Amino acid sequence: MGINTVEKIDAKVKVRHVLASVSDKRGLETFIPGLVASCPEVKIFSTGGTYARLKEILGTAAGERLQAVSDYTGQPETQGGLVKTLDFKIYLGLLTETYNDAHQDDLQRTAAVPIDMVVVNLYPFKQTIAQAGVTVEGARGQIDIGGPCMIRAAAKNFIRVASVVDPSDYAGILDALRAAEGQTSLDLRFALARKAFAHTADYDRAIADYLQGQSPAAAAGCYQYPEG
C-alpha cells in the first residue's frame, strides 16, 4: 500500500469538530466561548479534567456542545487515564483526507467524524523534573503518550486540521475564526503545524536528555520486586 499524495484540498475548513485535552487549562474560559460563538455548529470531544473544566465553562450548553471521548469511541478510559484517546475513530477523524473516497467510506463505516481542530498541550514533564527529589518513576509518570500522538496527527494533516498547542495563540486563532466565519485558512493551519512539531520535538528532547542523565540503578531503586 503506497503513501497517499494529496492534490486537492480546501483552502478554508469549517470548524465543526474539536478534540480538546490539555494539562495547561489557562485561557479556556475565553477560548471556548469564543470558539462556540465563531463556530455555531461546533461539537467538542474531551477527556478527564479537561472535560470537567469545559463542562463548567459551557454550563447549560454543555449538553449539545460537549461529549466525552469515551462516549464517542465506546471505550472507557483505563485506570489512571493511561489510555484515553488512542482509538481508531479518533485517528481516522484526525488523519482523514476530505477528497479521499476510501477515507470517507471509513468514516461512514465506523460512524466517525472528521476532526477539524485539536487543542492539546502535554503533561508537565519539564516542570516535574525541575522539582527537588523527583524520582525516575515520578518523571516516567509525566511522559505523555496520547498528547504527542494527537498533536502529530493533527499537524501532519495540516491540509485540513488545526493543531493548537499554545494558550498564547488562542486570541489570534479566535480573531482568524471571526474574520473567516468559523473557518481556518491553510496559512493558519500550516503555521500551527510548524509550532506543533517544534513543541513535540522539544518535549521528546527533554525526556531523552533526562533519561540519559539517569543511571539504571536510579531507575531500579524506585521499585519493589516480587520474590522469584
Write out the residue range of the structural domain in which residue 33 sits.
12-220
CATH number for 58: 3.40.50.1380
- pLDDT value for 99: 86
- pLDDT value for 128: 87
- pLDDT value for 223: 87
pLDDT tens-digit readout, 122-133: 878 888 888 988
- pLDDT value for 12: 97
Any domain includes 7: no
Number of domains the chain is built from: 1
Q: Which three cell numbers stand for residue 226?
A: 516480587
Any domain includes 208: yes
Phi, psi of 115 (to 5 degrees): -95, 125
pLDDT tens-digit readout, 139-157: 998 888 889 999 999 999 9
Given a cut of 50, the residues of the chain with pLDDT beneath it are none
> pTM for the full model?
0.91
Neighbouring C-alpha atoms within 13 Å toward the C-beta of 211? 12
Quick count: other Cβ atoms within 10 Å of Cβ 23?
16
d(CA 119, CA 18): 7
d(CA 142, CA 114): 29
Any domain includes 176: yes
